[in-house]
């Protein structure tokens, strides 16, 4: 009886320990590389090819040696996309000539509605150094994959649709390595610092 | 009450009215038990096909009411949406049954959450514009409101204004 009881205590003890270990290990954040460190993989910045709102072909080859930031959005977006563009406009105006040392790219995830003409008009509201890019649905898919980003068309009841999409601003250094992301909720000084570092990369 | 007292009261009421209307950043509307606090919309990029708008609803009555929709001569229609960001992915969905406000409670429509969406604005909304609209409630009925156009939630201009590209 004592042995059975001891055995039970041991088994339950082991179960509790294991459960605790599993709980803690799932709750701990994944070990993450610091924002400034390169991932050393091709997960961000793989091959892509798109057309600018001014009709110019831009691909990862043409960006070789040049730092850039890139983010995904669409014009039927009431909040995040225009806010990101207005905030980048503000930051780039503060950076002045330093902002000429990198490219700022806004890739539409909704090429169906975001025609080149609409994008050309939309972009007049922002810093003229920001370029909008669009491609066929295949080219758009390839670009999303190049940055491990996500976008999906979501049909609505009235025959309209909306887009779910990744919101981060990716920074890619001059040597093509991933330079972390820009978070529009972090202090303005930090964002300026990150962009200055990008400009010098 | 003497005549001079009446004049004094009238004058002080008038000055209060002037003071409150000069506080441009705060404007309220009400209908029945529903109060609509500071409706505002964002300054929109050129040719923007949609624009978000925000306000606070307060229900002082004993029964729930529901914001079911709205309209404005300055856009094709107004929809009620909810947005969220999860794992870095932004999602936006319509609220087809409208937005219920429980008795004695407040609901804020604010960036990052529930918003009204102006679909196909007739022209870009520029900072300082006032957009007339009518909101529809299940109980309180139609309420005329004015959305003030701001650059951001704080209503503060930022240094990006120079690049705003608002054509006159
Ligand atoms: Cu919306």
What digits encode the pLDDT tens for the residues B40-97?
A: 998 889 999 999 999 999 999 999 999 999 999 999 999 999 999 999 999 999 998 9
Q: Give the pLDDT mean for A136-158.
A: 95
Buried b / exposed e over A25-61, threshold 16 CB at 10 Å, is eeeeeeeeeeeeeeeeeeebbeebbbbbbeeeebbbe
- The per-residue pLDDT for range B109-155, each reduced to its tens digit, is 999 999 999 999 998 888 999 999 999 999 999 999 999 999 877 77
CA atoms within 13 A on the CB side of B143: 25
Q: How far is the CA of B162 from the centre of ligand 1 (A)?
A: 27
A166/B88 touch (CB, cutoff 8 Å), yes or no: yes
Token digits of residue A21: 């270990």
Q: Regarding predicted confidence, which is higher, B166 or A108?
A: A108
The answer to whether the annotation marks A53 as part of a ligand binding site is no
- The per-residue pLDDT for range A61-71, each reduced to its tens digit, is 999 999 999 99
Q: How far is the CA of B90 from the centre of ligand 1 (A)?
A: 11
Angle, alpha carbons A8-A14-A18 (nearest 5°): 145
Using an 8 Å CB-CB cutoff, list chain B residues near A125.
44-46, 124, 163-166
3-state secondary structure of A88: helix
Q: Give the pLDDT mean for A137-164.
A: 94
Q: Regarding predicted confidence, which is higher, A100 or A35?
A: A100
pLDDT beyond 90 at A2: no
Q: Regarding predicted confidence, which is higher, A2 or B125?
A: B125
Strands A103-108 and A130-134: parallel
The pLDDT assigned to B168 comes to 33
Query: What value does the mean pLDDT of chain B take?
Result: 82
CA–CA separation, B136 vs B144, rounded Å? 9
Percent of chain B whose pLDDT exceeds 90: 66
CATH class of A49-199: alpha beta
Q: How far is the CA of B94 from the centre of ligand 1 (A)?
A: 7
- The per-residue pLDDT for range B1-31, each reduced to its tens digit, is 455 555 454 444 444 333 333 344 568 999 9
pLDDT band, residue A157 (cuts 50/70/90): confident
pLDDT beyond 80 at A1: no
Q: Which fold has domain B3-150?
A: Immunoglobulin-like (2.60.40)
The pLDDT assigned to B5 comes to 53
Which parts of chain B are beta strand (E)? Answer: 28-31, 34-42, 50-59, 65-71, 75-86, 89-94, 99-101, 106-109, 114-121, 130-137, 141-150
* Partner B, chain A 85-114, Cβ-Cβ below 8 Å: 85-87, 89-90, 93-94, 113
B52/A168 touch (CB, cutoff 8 Å), yes or no: no
The answer to whether the annotation marks A10 as part of a ligand binding site is no
Query: Any CB–CB contact under 8 A between B160 and chain A?
Result: yes
* Partner B, chain A 25-44, Cβ-Cβ below 8 Å: none
Stated pTM of the model: 0.77
* B113 → chain A, closest CA residue: A79
Q: How far is the CA of A69 from the centre of ligand 1 (A)?
A: 26
A79/B91 touch (CB, cutoff 8 Å), yes or no: no
* Partner A, chain B 128-157, Cβ-Cβ below 8 Å: 151-152
Token digits of residue B62: 């004993």
Using an 8 Å CB-CB cutoff, list chain B residues near A76.
49-50
B151/A164 touch (CB, cutoff 8 Å), yes or no: no
β-bridge mates for residue B130, sequence order? B148
Q: Alpha-carbon torsion A67, A72, A75, A81, what sign? A: negative
**How many other CB atoms sit within 10 Å of the CB of residue A92?**
24
pLDDT band, residue B165 (cuts 50/70/90): very low
The pLDDT assigned to A20 comes to 53
């Amino acid at each position: 009886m004592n042995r059975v009881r001891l055995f039970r205590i041991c088994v339950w003890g082991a179960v509790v320990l294991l459960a605790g270990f599993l709980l803690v290990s799932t709750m701990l954040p994944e070990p993450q590389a610091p924002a400034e460190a390169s991932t050393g993989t091709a997960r961000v910045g793989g091959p892509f090819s798109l057309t600018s709102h001014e009709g110019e072909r831009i691909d990862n080859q043409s960006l070789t040696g040049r730092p850039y930031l890139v983010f995904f959005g669409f014009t039927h977006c009431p909040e995040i996309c225009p806010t990101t563009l207005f905030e980048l406009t503000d930051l780039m105006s503060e950076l002045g000539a330093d902002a000429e040392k990198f490219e700022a790219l806004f890739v539409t995830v909704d090429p169906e509605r975001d025609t080149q003409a609409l994008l050309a008009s939309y972009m007049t509201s922002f810093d003229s150094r920001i370029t909008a890019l669009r491609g066929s649905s295949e080219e758009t898919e390839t670009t999303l994959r190049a940055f491990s980003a996500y976008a999906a068309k979501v049909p609505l009841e009235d025959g309209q649709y909306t887009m779910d999409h990744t919101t981060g601003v990716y920074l890619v250094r001059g040597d093509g390595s991933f330079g972390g992301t820009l978070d529009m909720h972090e202090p303005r000084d930090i964002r300026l610092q990150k962009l200055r570092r990008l400009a010098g990369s | 009450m003497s005549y001079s007292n009446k004049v004094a009261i009238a004058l002080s009421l008038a000055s209060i009215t002037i003071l409150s209307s000069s506080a441009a950043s705060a404007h309220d509307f009400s209908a029945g038990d529903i109060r609509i606090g500071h409706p505002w919309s964002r300054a929109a990029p050129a040719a923007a096909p949609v624009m978000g708008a925000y306000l606070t609803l307060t229900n002082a009555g004993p029964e729930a009411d529901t914001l079911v929709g709205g309209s404005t001569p300055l856009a094709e229609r107004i929809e009620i949406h909810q947005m969220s960001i999860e794992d870095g992915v932004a999602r936006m969905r319509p609220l087809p049954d409208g937005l219920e406000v429980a008795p004695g409670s407040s609901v804020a429509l604010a960036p990052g959450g529930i918003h009204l969406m102006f679909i196909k604005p007739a022209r870009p909304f520029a900072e300082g514009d006032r957009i007339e609209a009518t909101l529809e409630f299940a109980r309180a009925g139609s309420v005329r409101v004015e959305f003030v156009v701001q650059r951001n939630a704080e209503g503060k201009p930022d240094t990006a204004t120079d690049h705003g590209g608002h054509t006159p």
